[in-house]
């Protein structure tokens, strides 16, 4: 109802904790960084990208499956994790399926 509108708390008001106030004092602009998607491009029209492998149909003794979401041959690994790791300092790599 009218008269009960609340001012949203924000940096610049005087209602904040010591921590928030000191953040406000130190920085001129509040930058909120949201947790990031790890898949920027692959099959974004799908709500959830799930792939299935019928293991009896594997053709080769060793097949590498991508877990970095950067492969040009997803769901297979094409080695793109190397570039991703170098660019970001990450340490991701594929899942190897072995027909013993």
Question: Which residues are tagged catalytic?
Answer: 48
**Range 13-32, binding ligand FES (CB under 6 A):** none
77 counts as binding ligand FES under rule CB under 6 A: yes
Between 78 and 97, how does the x/- string for binding to ligand FES read (CB under 6 A)? Answer: xxxx-----------xx---
Distance CA 29, CA 31 (A): 6
Number of C-alpha atoms within 13 angstroms, CB side, residue 9? 7
The encoded tokens of residue 100 equal: 């013993």
Determine the Cα angle at 88 with ends 62 and 32, to 5°: 130
Residue with tokens 């799930």: 50
Residues that bind ligand FES (CB under 6 A): 66-68, 70-71, 77-81, 93-94
Residues that bind a second copy (CB under 8 A): 27-29, 31, 33-39, 43-44, 46-58, 65-69, 75, 81, 84-85, 87-100
């Amino acid at each position: 109802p009218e008269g009960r509108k609340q001012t949203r708390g924000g940096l610049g008001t005087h209602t904040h904790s010591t921590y928030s106030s000191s953040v406000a004092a130190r920085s001129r602009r509040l930058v909120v960084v949201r947790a990031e998607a790890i898949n920027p491009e692959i099959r974004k029209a799908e709500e959830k990208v799930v792939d299935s492998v019928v293991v009896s149909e594997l053709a080769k003794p060793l097949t590498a499956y991508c877990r970095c979401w950067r492969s040009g041959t997803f769901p297979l690994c094409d080695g793109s994790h190397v570039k991703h790791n170098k660019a970001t300092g990450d340490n991701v790599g594929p899942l190897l399926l072995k027909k013993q």
